Amino acid sequence: MGKTIIEKIFQHHSSDEVRPGSVAWIDLDVRTARDFGGPNVVKHLRENYDGNYLADPEKTYFTFDLSVPAKTIKYAINQQVCRKFAGENRMNIFDVDAGIGTHVLVEKGIVIPGSTAVGTDSHYNILGAIGAFGQGMGDMDIAFAFKTGKTWFEVPETMKINVEGKYEWPATPRDLTFAVMEKLGSSGMLGMSAEYYGDAIDSLSLDGRITLASQTTEMGGIVTFIPPNDKVIDFISRRAGRAVKGTYADDNANYIKEVDVDVGGIEPMVASPSKPTNISPVSDIEGVEIDSVFIGSCTNGRYEDMLVAAKILKGKKVKKGVNLRITPATKEVWIKVINEGLVDIFANAGAVVFTNAGCGGCAEGMPGLVGEGEVELSTTNRNYKGKQGPGEIYLVSPATAAASAVKGYLTSPAEVAK
């Protein structure tokens, strides 16, 4: 019997027999901690190990992305603890100017297809966008990974998701993602790995793949893999400074189940409060009045997300009384958006541009939280009550977010393009 992608990646990184249900010790190519869990990782290392805290300093990173620069005394202390530890132990750090850690790892070619990486981030499985294994773990487990360069996993079963049909504007990769989430719900991937296939998947850009992979956690999945096409392989090879190859499932790989999702003719979609999988077409609830809009996060903070918003906002104004905030995912995105004039478009439209590259309003402690009774459209990955404050959060694509900011109520991008 052939192997799935996760089974192949694990086997390449382990001397144990890898099969679903078995426990395997995995060598880790990359291990990171962010400014939230990082200080606890340092604490565990100092309390439980006698020096020599890092198996491979060159493969170990701190990434600051939640509160950048620090917005509270707690975060300022946290970050400084990490900076001091990094300096003492010759490890790497992406400081407050870098952006969202997982995105930076991809942009820099540090994580490549087929590699293994762990960190203190519940959306670390976003690395499946390039065909890599990424997993968020607790700070004690990450401390062990820092020390040993290894961790153990119970090898999960894999499901196969066949995405059928083609979609057209005003639907976007976020709406494709919503279609998958509507089909699977909040537990449709529970405890499993998944692989995506289909023409609509293969044609996704890297930015679109990141959007799709970013919602794995909200469907209960461990990790999803989007097999890298030639464009993704070329991009990562250039960033890594060497030729890289993808890891692909065998033709006779065994899947626990297959699911078909038809995205042909899908329209813009929305996840209503307070559940990321509470999904319906925008047209079903169009007209919901809004107070604020946020475009950004690890789900939709890439350049293509900024570009689609700029195209809608160009020559238009955000509705009076609506607060539109925009945060790029990384410094690289931030610079490109500035150089190509998108900032001028956003500013002239009346948006708040920019909070520093990072998680933005998705994370408590960052600018752009929602107050009591406030209704916000957000391109983040979660809308649980209290996630961004006491207001109500509707999850949408950047296109829908920008169009709705102009109208002052939830609407399809097609309504603004008329």
Residue 240, pLDDT score: 98
Rounded average pLDDT over 366-382: 89
Shared domain for 20 and 68, answered yes or no, is yes
What's 126's domain CATH number? 3.30.499.10
Neighbours of 384 (CB within 10 A): 12
Helical ranges in 196-302 per DSSP H: 199-202, 206-213, 230-240, 282-285, 297-300
What's 197's domain CATH number? 3.40.1060.10
Q: CB–CB of 284/390 below 8 Å?
A: no
Which range marks the domain in which residue 140 is found?
5-154
Residue 364 pLDDT greater than 80, yes or no:
no
Q: Which residues contact 322 (CB under 8 A, 6 or more apart)?
A: 290, 291, 292, 293, 405, 408
The band of 289, judged by pLDDT with boundaries at 50, 70 and 90, is very high
Q: What is the mean pLDDT of the chain?
A: 95
Shared domain for 388 and 289, answered yes or no, is yes
Shared domain for 235 and 279, answered yes or no, is no
Rounded average pLDDT over 107-124: 97
**Which tens digit of pLDDT belongs to each residue from 131-181?**
999 999 999 999 999 999 999 999 999 999 999 999 999 999 999 999 999
Shared domain for 146 and 192, answered yes or no, is no
| pTM reported for the whole predicted model | 0.95
Q: Which of 212, 241, 262 is the endpoint of a domain?
A: 262
Among candidate residues 167, 179, 396, the one with its CA nearest the CA of residue 282: 396
Residue 71, pLDDT score: 87
Residue 354, pLDDT score: 75
Q: Which of 262, 291, 306 is the endpoint of a domain?
A: 262
CA distance 24 to 96: 35
Neighbours of 293 (CB within 10 A): 31
Q: CB–CB of 27/13 below 8 Å?
A: yes
Shared domain for 237 and 372, answered yes or no, is no
Domain-located, residue 186: yes
For 312-338, letters b (16+ CB in 10 Å) and e give: bbeebebbeebbbbbbbbbbbbbebbe
Shared domain for 383 and 286, answered yes or no, is yes
Shared domain for 31 and 132, answered yes or no, is yes
Residue 46 pLDDT greater than 80, yes or no:
yes
Q: Which of 124, 154, 184 is the endpoint of a domain?
A: 154
Domain-located, residue 267: no
Rounded average pLDDT over 200-217: 97
| Residue 319 DSSP label | P
Could you give the number of structural domains in the chain?
3
**Which tens digit of pLDDT belongs to each residue from 63-96?**
999 889 998 899 999 999 999 999 999 999 999 9
Residue 388 pLDDT greater than 90, yes or no:
no
The band of 365, judged by pLDDT with boundaries at 50, 70 and 90, is low
Rounded average pLDDT over 264-293: 97
Angle at 13 between CA 8 and CA 19, to 5 degrees: 45
Domain-located, residue 137: yes
Domain-located, residue 169: yes
Residue 418, pLDDT score: 60
**Which tens digit of pLDDT belongs to each residue from 186-200?**
999 999 999 999 999
Shared domain for 222 and 234, answered yes or no, is yes
Residue 361 pLDDT greater than 90, yes or no:
no
Q: CB–CB of 416/316 below 8 Å?
A: yes
Residue 401 pLDDT greater than 80, yes or no:
yes
Amino acid of residue 197: Y
Among candidate residues 76, 123, 79, 78, the one with its CA nearest the CA of residue 103: 123
Shared domain for 19 and 101, answered yes or no, is yes
Q: Which residue has the tokens 């209503």?
A: 272
